[in-house]
């Protein structure tokens, strides 16, 4: 530098990784139970490529009964809802308990939608 105008070319390359969440098991089937009896299952939520903390949220489905009434028979309880980056650069697994209870006969197949703060 010092009056010596040398040109330097710097090339940068990288990979952009979008945050993702995976589930274990990848689908959930709850056992049939009598009316007003709760059935429950724990699932693991496995976040990947989260570089900063993000809160996992859930949208539970509404179920329409034969008479047209709509109910929300599912509930979710987290043991930690925030993605956490470990010292080794991986994200810690989250545990989610999904339960179902209904006072009316119902059969349902559908999606429970998990999103992060950026709606991924």
- Work out the pLDDT band at 85, boundaries 50, 70, 90: confident
Do the Cβ atoms of 119 and 65 come closer than 8 Å? no
108 belongs to a structural domain: yes
* Domain of residue 37, residue span: 20-115
Note the pLDDT tens digit of each residue in 28-79.
Answer: 888 899 999 999 999 999 999 888 889 999 999 999 888 999 999 999 999 8
Total domains in the fold of the chain: 1
Query: Which is more confidently placed, 11 or 41?
Result: 41
**Alpha-carbon distance values, 51 to 46, 47, 89, 101, 115 (Å):** 14, 10, 8, 37, 16
Tokens at 86, concatenated: 């470990």
The DSSP bridge partners found for residue 20 are 48
9 belongs to a structural domain: no
Structure-token match 């959930």, residue found = 28
13 belongs to a structural domain: no
In this prediction, residue 3 carries a pLDDT of: 67
5 belongs to a structural domain: no
46 belongs to a structural domain: yes
Average pLDDT, whole number, for the chain? 88
Do the Cβ atoms of 44 and 24 come closer than 8 Å? yes
27 belongs to a structural domain: yes
Is the confidence at residue 7, as pLDDT, over 90?
no
pTM of the model: 0.77
65 belongs to a structural domain: yes
């Amino acid at each position: 530098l010092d009056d010596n105008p040398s040109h330097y070319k710097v090339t940068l390359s990288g990979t952009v990784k979008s945050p993702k969440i995976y589930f274990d098991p990848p689908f959930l089937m709850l056992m049939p139970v009598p009316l007003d009896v709760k059935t429950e299952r724990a699932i693991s939520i496995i976040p990947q490529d989260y570089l900063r903390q993000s809160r996992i949220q859930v949208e539970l489905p509404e179920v329409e009964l034969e008479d047209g009434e709509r109910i929300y028979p599912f509930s979710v309880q987290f043991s930690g809802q925030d993605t956490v980056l470990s010292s080794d650069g991986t994200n810690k697994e989250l545990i989610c308990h999904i339960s179902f209870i209904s006072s009316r006969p119902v059969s349902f197949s559908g999606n429970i939608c998990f999103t992060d703060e950026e709606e991924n």
